[in-house]
Amino acid sequence: MTEARFEAFSIQLDRSQKALTKLKQTFMEAYGLSAAHTRCLTALKKYGALTQNQLADLLEIDRSQVSRVLKDMYSHEFVTFSDEQPYNKKYTLSKKGLESATTLENTILLVNSAISKDIPQSDIEVFYRTFNAISNSLLEATKTFSTPESMLSLGKTES
């Protein structure tokens, strides 16, 4: 039973991730950007001026990806940056970026309402608490079982 739940969970998570990426991509195409840009856009709106390293840490994504995304966003005039040293530049949303981020937030709220309209609020709250607990446990498991040997030793039974 547990094995089937894990497989079902993995499949549902993958399906959800693909659907989210497709929704982000559809929105961002209007701006000539990709789905990868949505998280940086919303983070800069929420937190204000941030360096590449701060964004990477905050979003838990690779620094090189953040660098590419910010370069694209700058070339499309969504962000500006301070004139400090290259690794200390603080990026902020331009007027165009702020307008786009606001539109994105409003779109997310409308999509969220549409996809959850038949689910009671109490169920949604339980889902997010549970999903957060599972996510945190998975993160801890990556630390505990960080080598192939540690993973393989789990599956072995003592004779």
Instruction: Output the DSSP codes for 69-133.
Output: HHHHHHHTTSEEE-SS-GGGPPEEE-HHHHHHHHHHHHHHHHHHHHHHTTS-HHHHHHHHHHHHH
User: Mean of the pLDDT values across residues 73-81?
Assistant: 94
Residues with Cβ within 8 Å of 23's Cβ and at least 6 positions away in sequence, in order, are 111
**pLDDT at residue 121, rounded to an integer:** 93
Q: Is the pLDDT of residue 114 over 60?
A: yes
The larger pLDDT score, comparing residue 74 to residue 157, is at 74
Q: Once rounded to an integer, what is the mean pLDDT over residues 71-90?
A: 86
Burial profile 64-90: b = 16 or more Cβ within 10 angstroms, e = fewer: eebeebbebbbebebbbbeeeeeeebb
Q: Which residues contact residue 102 at a Cβ distance below 8 angstroms, ignoring those fewer than 6 apart?
A: 45
Indicate whether 97 pLDDT > 80: yes
pTM across the whole model:
0.76
pLDDT of residue 50: 94
Q: What is 26-115's CATH number, 2.40.110.20, 3.40.50.10420, 1.10.10.10, 3.10.20.30?
A: 1.10.10.10
Calpha distance 95→93 (Å, rounded)? 7
Whole-number pLDDT of residue 158 = 54
Q: How many CB atoms lie within 10 A of CB 63?
A: 13
Tell me the C-alpha distance between 92 and 55, whole Å. 11
Binned at pLDDT 50, 70 and 90, residue 94 comes out as very high
**pLDDT band at residue 130, thresholds of 50, 70 and 90?**
very high
Domain ranges of the chain: 26-115
pLDDT tops 80 at residue 55: yes
Tokens of 82: 């301070």
Q: What is the mean pLDDT of residues 90-96?
A: 96
